Amino acid sequence: MGEILKVENLKTYFPIRSGLFFRISGYVRAVDGVNLEVKANETFGLVGESGCGKTTLGRTILRLVKPTDGRIFFEGQDITRIKGKKLREIRRTMQIIFQDPYTSLHPRKMIKDIVGEPLKIHTNMKDHEIKEKVVETLQLVGLSEEHIYRYPHEFSGGQRQRIAIARALILRPKFLVLDEPTSALDVSVQAKILNLLNILKQKFGLTYFLISHDLSIIDYMSDRVAVMYLGKIVELADKEKLFQSPLHPYTKALITSIPIPDPRAKKRKKRLTLKGEPPSPVNPPSGCRFHTRCPFAKPLCEKEEPALLEVDSQHFVACHFWEEISNEKL
């Protein structure tokens, strides 16, 4: 599989304005030097705590947020600075499914207009052709023709997310950013939506960029996984490698925090507990950003920032002492 997306040293900073004249007094470093590649037809998982920059990274990749620095390549084309008509053409092949189906759908528009809107923007199709395409796409996600004249408030959370999926799918894109697509739904509904996404991926040869803080969803859906902490990727590997042999202490802490239903196995399991809260992205710590919470931190960690290096086949980690830590059994 070739790569469909490549990100080089991507940075997204948001200015903080204060004082009488709203001068810039600092920056929120939401994404701060990210490098990654996504292969065609894979599900690439991105996991991390709330506020680590996952959603900002996803939106920056789609150019919904303007990058501060770095480059974004989609199918070999540099889309970092493109505008106008060229950006609109790229948008046909890149779509997003937002986290909250209760706020991502226009409350005063009928479903036929919500799902059909991308066709009005990007094609010259006539109204009756758009209606046919909307019905066809709604049926793909498990809804029917009778739903097209209803409004979002008439649907359950799971049905609303199906409508959002239909809207993203109607242009037949190649690449979809899934921003916590099931976090606002009941557990029983989550499974149905995830299974639907897997079916659609196989049917249309889609590539997913899955953002989640739920490791069980990442484990179920993803082929490869990147772990993000305070705007940076700290570990990246195939799913099996990451879950079975995590090398970064932050990844270890995330994995050991997964609940275990068996009480006996839970007692045997060694849990890695982190101290304190994540630092502010406005003023991140020097050196390794994780050193303020890391139980293995040494003086070098405070002084020097570790690079994201390939330490095993397709297994990347940003840690000075990953070899020592890898011997610590979970």
Q: What is the pLDDT of residues 88-117, one digit of tens each?
A: 999 999 999 998 888 999 999 999 999 999
Residue 110: exposed, middle, or buried by beta-carbon count in 10 A (0-12, 13-18, 19+)?
A: middle
Average pLDDT over residues 286-291: 94
Look at residue 134 and tell me if it is in a domain: yes
Q: How much is the pLDDT for 267?
A: 52
Look at residue 116 and tell me if it is in a domain: yes
Q: How much is the pLDDT for 76?
A: 93
Task: Give the number of domains in the chain.
Answer: 1
Q: What is the pLDDT of residues 19-57, one digit of tens each?
A: 878 899 899 999 999 999 999 999 999 999 988 999 999
Look at residue 109 and tell me if it is in a domain: yes
Look at residue 145 and tell me if it is in a domain: yes
Q: How much is the pLDDT for 205?
A: 96
Look at residue 13 and tell me if it is in a domain: no
Look at residue 324 and tell me if it is in a domain: no
Look at residue 279 and tell me if it is in a domain: no
Q: What is the largest CA-CA distance in the chain?
A: 68
Q: Which residues of 294-322 are buried (b: 16+ CB within 10 A; e: fewer)?
A: bebbeeebeeebbebeeeeeebbbbbbbb
Q: What is the pLDDT of residues 241-284, one digit of tens each?
A: 999 999 999 999 999 887 766 666 555 556 777 888 889 999 99
Q: How much is the pLDDT for 217?
A: 93
Nearest to 226 by CA among 94, 51, 63, 34: 34
Look at residue 153 and tell me if it is in a domain: yes
Q: What is the pLDDT of residues 109-144, one digit of tens each?
A: 999 999 999 999 999 999 999 999 999 999 999 999
Query: Which residue range forms the structural domain that includes residue 159?
Result: 101-172
Q: How much is the pLDDT for 265?
A: 54
Average pLDDT over residues 204-224: 95
Average pLDDT over residues 160-175: 96
CB 38 within 8 A of CB 17: no
* Cα–Cα dist 193/13, whole Å: 33
